[in-house]
């Protein structure tokens, strides 16, 4: 059976944590950061976890992760 290709965009954006949950950086940190409030900026620094349904979709995108 042939190998399944990984989704190129998902490879760059998502990773698996040690506990097996999918994590990603939050969007909105590229530009226009100066007018944001400081607590908003700090909250965007943290990584976010995907829900169970989104995680199953991600497992299809990245089968060998």
Residues 59, 22: Cα–Cα separation, whole Å = 9
Domain boundaries, the chain: 11-61
CATH code: domain 11-61 is 4.10.410.60
**What confidence score (pLDDT) does residue 15 get?**
94
Percentage of the chain surpassing pLDDT 90? 92
Backbone angles phi, psi at 7, to 5 degrees: -75, 120
How confident is the model over 14-29, as pLDDT tens digits? 999 999 999 999 999 9
Say if residue 65's pLDDT is above 90: no
Q: Confirm whether pTM is higher than 0.85.
A: no
**What confidence score (pLDDT) does residue 9 get?**
95
Q: pLDDT grade, residue 44 (50/70/90)?
A: very high
Q: Show the tokens assigned to 1.
A: 């059976």
């Amino acid at each position: 059976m042939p190998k399944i290709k990984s989704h190129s965009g998902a490879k760059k954006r998502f990773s698996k944590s040690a506990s097996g949950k999918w994590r990603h950086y939050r969007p909105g940190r590229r530009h226009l950061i100066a007018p944001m409030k400081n607590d908003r900026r700090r909250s965007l620094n943290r990584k976010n976890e995907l829900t169970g349904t989104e995680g199953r979709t991600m497992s299809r995108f990245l089968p060998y992760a």
